[in-house]
Structure 1
Amino acid sequence: MTVDRARLADTLLEIVAEVPDPSALPGQLCAACLRALPIDGVGVSLMSGHQAGGGVLLGASGAIGHRMEDLQFELGEGPSISAVEDGQPVLVPDVLAEDARSRWPMFVQSVETTDVRALFTFPLQLGAISFGALGCYRSRAGPLDEVVNALVVAEAVTLALLQAQAKEIDGNGHRSWLTEAVVDYHPHVHQAVGMVSAQLEASVEEAFVRLRGHAFRHGRSLEEIGADVVARRLRFTGDELMPE
Structure 2
Amino acid sequence: MSTREELIADALLELSDALVEDFEVSNLLHRLVDHALELLDADAAGIMLADSSGTLQVVASNSHAVELLELYELQVGSGPCLDCFRTGQPVTPPDLATVRAWWPDFAPRVEAAGYASAQAVPMRLRDEVIGAFNIFRTREGALVDRDLRLARALADVATVALITDRTLTARQLVASQLQGALSSRVLLEQAKGMLAERAGISVDRAFTVMRDHARRHGRGLREVAGDVVSGRGLLPTSTHPSTHPGT
* TM-score category (smaller protein): 0.5 to 0.7
**Distance 1:121-1:23 versus aligned 2 partners, 3 A rule:** closer
Gaps of 5+ in 1: 168-174, 187-244
Residue in 2 aligned with 1:228? none
Output the aligned Cα RMSD: 3.0
Q: Tell me how far 1:121 sits from its aligned partner.
A: 0.5
- Partner AA of 2:103 in structure 1: W
User: What is the distance in 2 between the residues matched to 1:31 and 1:165?
Assistant: 28
Q: Tell me how far 1:63 sits from its aligned partner.
A: 2.6
Name the TM-score, length of structure 1 as normaliser: 0.61
Residue in 2 aligned with 1:195? none
1:112 equivalenced with 2:115 (yes/no)? no
1:153 equivalenced with 2:159 (yes/no)? no
Residue in 1 aligned with 2:143? 144
- Partner AA of 1:12 in structure 2: L
SS of residue in 2 equivalent to 1:69: helix
Contact 1:56 1:185 in 2 (8 A): no
- Partner AA of 1:10 in structure 2: D
**Distance 1:176-1:80 versus aligned 2 partners, 3 A rule:** closer
Q: How does 1:6-17 map to 2 (within 5 A)?
A: 6-17=6-17
Q: Tell me how far 1:177 sits from its aligned partner.
A: 6.3
Give the percent of matched residue pairs that are identical in Structure 1 and Structure 2: 27
Contact 2:121 2:152 in 1 (8 A): yes
User: What is the distance in 1 between the residues matched to 2:163 and 2:81?
Assistant: 19
Structure 1 outlier segments of 4+, above 4 Å: 164-167, 182-186
Residue in 1 aligned with 2:29? 26
User: What is the distance in 1 between the residues matched to 2:166 and 2:33?
Assistant: 17
**Distance 1:25-1:113 versus aligned 2 partners, 3 A rule:** same
Identify the structure with the greater strand proportion: 1
Residue in 2 aligned with 1:238? none
User: What is the distance in 2 between the residues matched to 1:55 and 1:13?
Assistant: 27
Q: How does 1:217-228 map to 2 (within 5 A)?
A: none
Contact 1:23 1:177 in 2 (8 A): no
Name the TM-score, length of structure 2 as normaliser: 0.60
Contact 1:84 1:132 in 2 (8 A): yes
SS of residue in 1 equivalent to 2:42: coil
**Distance 1:165-1:21 versus aligned 2 partners, 3 A rule:** farther
**Distance 1:176-1:158 versus aligned 2 partners, 3 A rule:** closer
SS of residue in 1 equivalent to 2:163: helix
Contact 2:25 2:181 in 1 (8 A): no
CA deviations over 1:217-242 (Å, ceiling 9, x no partner)? xxxxxxxxxxxxxxxxxxxxxxxxxx
User: What is the distance in 2 between the residues matched to 1:66 and 1:11?
Assistant: 23
